[in-house]
């Protein structure tokens, strides 16, 4: 696990680095509060941090306060390292947002067990976060989370003057799969579909289960031609091979509706979803196993396979 150390005392910092590396942590070390704050603002910020209370730029308690006020990203567990060990000081540090404290000079074994407790809390918080934001069956983001991500990417696209895309997908004749083979087999088909699509997507793309047999993909910073090509790869990855289940092999296809915003275009979530839904149902009307792309006010069948 990655851990951030922020301490302006070089001797203390080096001792911490040596101990934490020995215990198997990946250590990021900085010497003042501003550098610590910058490290904690990164997308892949450490989830455990040891902050010295008294530091130049920004002290440990102020970093705690800012972290708790921002509520941005995953929870960061903070152990405040301090020579202030009076009851009032400890209360002030905890009220600022620290999760634990340790007096200087610190005992290595005490630090080790406190960090273990911190890691348990971080792991539990992560499990709860995944449970709240992910679909239990497929592992994709759930409806609420994928809509939030679409909203965030549309706002970013408008702000930065770039395009963004959304692909709404529906497994064809899925009710027949459930009726013929049973819901457990239907669940297996959904899981396999999500896994195949995840392998096709770019690292920046986000897959969510929109509901039932529908999936939504958000394509940050994606141009029209790239989105069309990606949608076709998604179509092929579902149609290419039957899904092996306990009831035998089950064939499946998917219909897709693609929407791309113009560069810097203001478009809300409701409008994007409405356009994607229209494109999806045009794909259904055209015979399924199709990709339909919205270009302006037109719906264009770009690619299709055999139904």
Is there a catalytic annotation at residue 213?
yes
Cis check: omega of the bond before 105, within 30 degrees of 0: yes
Rounded Cα distance, 92 and 156, in Å: 38
Among the listed residues 213, 265, 271, 286, the single catalytic one is: 213
Structure tokens at 37: 């704050």
- Among 71, 39, 24, 33, smallest CA distance to 52 is for 33
Active site residues: 213
């Amino acid at each position: 696990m990655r851990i951030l150390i922020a301490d302006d005392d070089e001797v203390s910092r080096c001792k911490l680095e040596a101990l934490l590396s020995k215990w198997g942590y990946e250590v990021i070390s900085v010497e003042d509060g501003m550098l610590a704050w910058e490290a904690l603002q990164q997308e892949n910020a450490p989830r455990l941090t040891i902050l010295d209370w008294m530091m130049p730029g920004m002290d440990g308690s102020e970093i705690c306060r800012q972290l708790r006020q921002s509520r941005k990203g995953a929870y960061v567990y903070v152990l405040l390292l301090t020579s202030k060990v009076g009851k009032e000081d400890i209360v002030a540090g905890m009220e600022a947002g620290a999760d634990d404290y340790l007096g200087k000079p610190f005992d290595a074994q005490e630090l080790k067990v406190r960090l273990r407790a911190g890691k348990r809390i971080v792991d539990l918080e992560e499990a709860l976060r995944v449970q709240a934001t992910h679909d239990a069956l497929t592992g994709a983001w759930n409806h609420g989370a994928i809509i939030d991500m679409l909203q965030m990417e549309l706002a970013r696209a408008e702000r930065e003057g770039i395009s963004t895309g959304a692909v709404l997908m529906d497994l064809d004749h899925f009710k027949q799969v459930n009726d013929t083979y049973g819901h457990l087999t239907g669940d297996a088909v959904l899981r396999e579909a999500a896994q195949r699509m995840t392998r096709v997507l770019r690292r920046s793309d986000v897959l969510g289960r929109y509901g039932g047999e529908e999936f939504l993909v958000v394509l940050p910073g994606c141009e029209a031609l790239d989105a069309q090509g990606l949608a076709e790869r998604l179509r092929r990855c579902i149609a290419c091979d039957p899904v092996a289940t306990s009831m035998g092999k089950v064939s499946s296809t998917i219909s897709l509706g693609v929407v791309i915003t113009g560069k810097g275009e203001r478009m809300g979530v409701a409008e994007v979803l409405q356009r994607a839904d229209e494109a999806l149902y045009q794909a259904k009307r055209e015979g399924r196993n199709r990709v339909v792309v919205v270009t302006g006010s037109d719906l264009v069948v770009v690619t299709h396979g055999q139904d």
